Amino acid sequence: MTSQPKQQTNSNAKVIGRLMLVVVGMFGFGFVMVPIYDIFCEVTGLNGKTSGKRLTEVLEVDTNREVVVEFVATLNEEMPWEFRPAVDKVTVNPGQPTRITYVAKNVTNKDIIGQAVPSVAPGKAATYFQKTECFCFTEQKLEAGEEKEMPVIFVVDPDLPDDVTQLALSYTFFIKPTEASKTASLAHN
């Protein structure tokens, strides 16, 4: 009986130690969910995220099938450019590389660097939408008042599920935060 309290203190310390490990681990797990979520979306193409990789191989063209691809341009709220697709939509055969352009114009009087983020709807078609060339692969810099044509060359994979007849490719242009704008937005908060 007399030795029991000491034993208990020891095993209490052990229990606390183990449980604290779980606590710390689960706190970390919340943060690990961030990269896992990105990898998961990229592997599965969920969330409309297309792969950021450039397609290098040549696909066979399926001339018996036509898919309509529509183009959408969006600006993030802090981005002061003008941005639109040159054509609203095109009809393509799966496997056929197609070149289209977007037009962006910096209407301010200072140079701005932007980054476009693509998204494809419906989400399940995202992994079948491949790009061989895209202005979204790198940052784009527009000088004050400059207008630029921004090309995209894409291929719709012939394995695209049969029920998908229409795709929408959407780009959102984000302003690349400079050090100055970061402090400004902090002060604003």
Partner 1 sequence: MSAVIEEHHDHHDHKPTGIGRWLFSTNHKDIGTMYLWFSFIMFFVGGSMALVIRAELFQPGLQLVEPEFFNQMTTLHGLIMVFGVIMPAFVGLANWMVPMMIGAPDMALPRMNNWSFWLLPGAFGLLIASLIMSLMGMGSAPNFGWTFYAPLSTKYGPASTDFFIFSVHMMGISSIMGAINIIATIMNMRAPGMTYMKMPIFVWTWFITAYLLIAVMPVLAGAVTMMLTDRNFGTSFFDAAGGGDPVMFQHIFWFFGHPEVYIMILPSFGIISEIVPTFARKKIFGYSSMVYATASIAFLSFIVWAHHMFTTGMPVAGELFFMYATMLIAIPTGVKVFNWVSTMWKGSMTFETPMLFAIAFIFLFTIGGFTGLMLCIAPADFQYHDTYFVVAHFHYVLVTGAAFGIMAGVYYWIPKWTGNMYDETLGKWHFWLTTISANVLFFPMHFVGLAGMPRRIPDYSIQFAEFNAMATVGAFVFGFTQLIFLYNVIKTARGRTGVKATDQVWEGSHGLEWTLPSPAPFHSFTTPPQVK
Interface residues with partner 1 (CB under 8 A) are: 1-2, 5, 8, 11-12, 15-16, 19-20, 22-31, 33-34, 37-38, 44, 46-48, 76-78, 117, 123-124, 172, 174-175, 177, 182, 185-186, 189
Q: How far is the CB of 174 from partner 1 (least distance, A)?
A: 5
CA–CA dist 80, 157 (Å, integer) = 35
Which residue number, 51 or 93, has a Cβ lying nearer to partner 1? 51
DSSP-assigned letter for residue 161: -
Would you say 137 and 153 are in contact if contact means Cβ atoms under 8 Å apart?
Answer: no
Q: How far is the CB of 11 from partner 1 (least distance, A)?
A: 5
Which residue number, 91 or 185, has a Cβ lying nearer to partner 1? 185
86 Ramachandran zone, left/alpha/beta (phi>0; psi -120 to 50): alpha
Residues across the chain: 189
Tokens of residue 162, six digits: 């049969």
Q: What are phi and psi of 95, to 5 degrees?
A: 95, -15
Q: How far is the CB of 138 from partner 1 (least distance, A)?
A: 15
Which residue number, 8 or 108, has a Cβ lying nearer to partner 1? 8
Which residue number, 95 or 118, has a Cβ lying nearer to partner 1? 118
